[in-house]
Amino acid sequence: MLTTAPRLRIRRPSPTTAEFTVTTLPPRTLALRLLWLLLLALRISLSLVALLILYARWVQERGSIAGPAQPPPPLLSLDRLVFALDAFLQTTPAGTLLARIAASVSLPVLLPVAAAVFYALSLRVHKEESLLVLRGLGVQTSESPATYLAGAATRFIPTEKIQDILVNEAFLGFEVRYYLVVVVEGEENVVVVFPGLLPRRKIVETVWRGVRECLYEGRGEDRVDKSGS
């Protein structure tokens, strides 16, 4: 429900510059937005729970249990926050439950599990891969990373290095997939565009036509300005 089959989005502000984005993000509707908000809230609350468990464990390891009977420190300070956390963990039923969970799990299990939970909570739901075509400069592929923490991985190929751009077919399991390939001069490996999503043939063909039109069609040779040199 949160993702669709890969679909194509084209941004083309001028005829010689275009960005082809293949994404699994469905079109935005109200229901989808609500779902997103729900998911976000879930992520935040789960990570808070994980953090609280870790904090409880840390307090237990440290062994100093400050009783909630002391006068609370001034508002808007770090001590106040610690005080509130301690109070939460010791008095409320949810807090005591968390503290009991933290106490029952051994440390070598707790830490990797917490790390795995944080990683799972930071995973992206949808994938996005794009191809930016700039006449006179080159093409640039980019892939959205797996988590929200990392940046997009991009690869820029100057026009001079592009030997060819073509659509190829390959077996993948029991099906034949069509994929767009940029052949780079002087490199052993070709660059596959949209490597993770591998969209349908129709999308690939559209992108291929668009790229060739953007890069090469009606290209006039512009001469070097002789007045300067």
Partner 1 sequence: MHPFSTLTLGIFVAGYITARWDLVTRLYELAIFAVEYGVVLRVARGIVVLTAFFLAIFVPVALLARRETTLHDGLMRVFWPTDIRKSDRTGVVVGWRNSTLDVFVVTILEDVDAHNVEFHLRSGTFFRSSPHSPNRIYELCGHSSMHVLGVSNAATQDAIDPSWVCAKASTSSRYPRISCAKASSIQLILYDRPRPKGMQYISLNPIALALGDKGTLPEDVASSEDDSEEAKHEKAIKENRRMLVEKLKQHSIVRRVASARDKALPKIVNQVNWSWELEQALQQNVGRLGPRPKRGLSVSERVVESATTMRNYVLVQLWTLFSVYLFPIVQKAFVLVLLFHRMVAEIFLIILEFRAKPGYAALKDISATAQQIEIRLQQFCYWPMQYVTLRQRKANWASVTTSHPDYIRFYNSLWLVANDVIIGMAVGSYIIEHKDWVADQIRDLLRTYTVEALQRGISWLMGWPAGLKLNGELAAFLGDLFLWVIDYWSSCIETLSPMLPHIIWFIGFSSFAGASMPIAMFSDLLSVLTLHIYSFYLASARIYHWQLTILRSLFHLFRGKKHNVLRNRIDSCDYDLDQLLVGTILFTLLFFLLPTVMVFYLNFAIARMIIISLKAGFDTLLSCLNHFPLFALMLRLKDPSRLPGGIHFELRDTHYPTTPDANDNLLNEPPTSIIYLKNIPLPFRDMFHQYFQMAHRIRKHYLSPRVLLCLVTGQFVPPINRKNLYSLQYSMLPARRATVWEMWRAVNTEIDIPQKKPFQMPNIPQLQNGGKRPTGFGRTRS
Q: Which residues bind partner 1 (CB under 8 A)?
A: 11-17, 19, 132, 134-138, 140, 142, 154, 156, 158-160, 163-164, 166, 183, 187-188, 190, 216, 218-225, 227-229
Query: Shortest gap between Cβ of 11 and partner 1 (angstroms)?
Result: 6
Query: Shortest gap between Cβ of 44 and partner 1 (angstroms)?
Result: 27
Query: Shortest gap between Cβ of 96 and partner 1 (angstroms)?
Result: 40
Whose Cβ is closer to partner 1: residue 61's or residue 160's?
A: 160
Give, as one character, the DSSP assignment of residue 22: E
CB 21 within 8 A of CB 8: yes
Give, as one character, the DSSP assignment of residue 220: P
Query: Shortest gap between Cβ of 166 and partner 1 (angstroms)?
Result: 8
Whose Cβ is closer to partner 1: residue 30's or residue 224's?
A: 224
- Residue 100: both structure tokens together: 């009991």
Tell me the CA distances in angstroms from 101 to 50, 57, 62, one per residue in order.
11, 9, 17
Whose Cβ is closer to partner 1: residue 175's or residue 221's?
A: 221
Distance CA 24, CA 147 (A): 15
Whose Cβ is closer to partner 1: residue 24's or residue 141's?
A: 141
CB 206 within 8 A of CB 214: no
CB 157 within 8 A of CB 191: yes
